[in-house]
Amino acid sequence: MTTVNHSAPSTQDALALLRADHLHIERVLADCERLVNDDSLSSQADRSGLVARLGALLQAHLRIKSELFEPAFAHPGNDAGQDAGHDHDDTLQRLAQLNAAEAKPGGFAAALTEFADSWRAHVANEEGQQLPSAQRAAVERGIDLLALGTAMAQRRGELLGDQGVD
């Protein structure tokens, strides 16, 4: 297994960092799905650990976006931040539902499928529309994406602590 220290300063720009977060979260989500689909691999402890890991990564991802990324691109008349906040709230609500279902063996698979579908739609929207728009805005407004990526990586490290190491 590769060791990645997410608390180290980033050499990625903010957009690459968000895309890397998406991939990291997707890998943990895929691990959750493997546990659900193979009863021989699944145990309550395994599920609990993966759901906790998924939750920590998601919460850190959403926090760095709301605390650093979105404010860097905010300007009067732009309601994208409000839309993103609603999307983040929806993701956190689905995560809470997944956590509640995790304690019930029968409901976990359905909750995981619903969460995964929602998360993947969020990522498709973000990578297909929001990040390209942010790239254009950064060029137009002179936003330093590398400096923003460094700040986001440092904040993510603060939020994740030891959980930021794979």
Q: How many domains does the chain have?
A: 1
What is the model's pLDDT at position 165?
47
**Is the residue at 23 inside a domain?**
yes
pLDDT, position 140: 95
Supply the pTM of this predicted model: 0.82
CA distance 18 to 131: 9
Quick check: is 122 in a domain? yes
Any domain includes 5? no
Report yes or no on 84 lying in a domain: yes
- Cβ 122 vs Cβ 129: under 8 Å: no
Question: Do the domain assignments include residue 80?
Answer: yes
Chain centroid, CA 149 distance in Å: 15
The domain in which residue 20 lies consists of 14-164
Cα 13 from Cα 68, distance rounded (Å): 13
In a domain, 2, yes or no: no
DSSP state letters, 54-118 = HHHHHHHHHHHIIIIIHHHH--TT--HHHHHHHHHHHHHHHHHHHHHHHTSHHHHHHHHHHHHHH
CB 119 within 8 A of CB 91: yes
pLDDT, tens digit, 9 for 90 and up, residues 29-83: 999 888 877 765 556 677 788 889 999 999 999 999 999 999 999 876 554 444 5
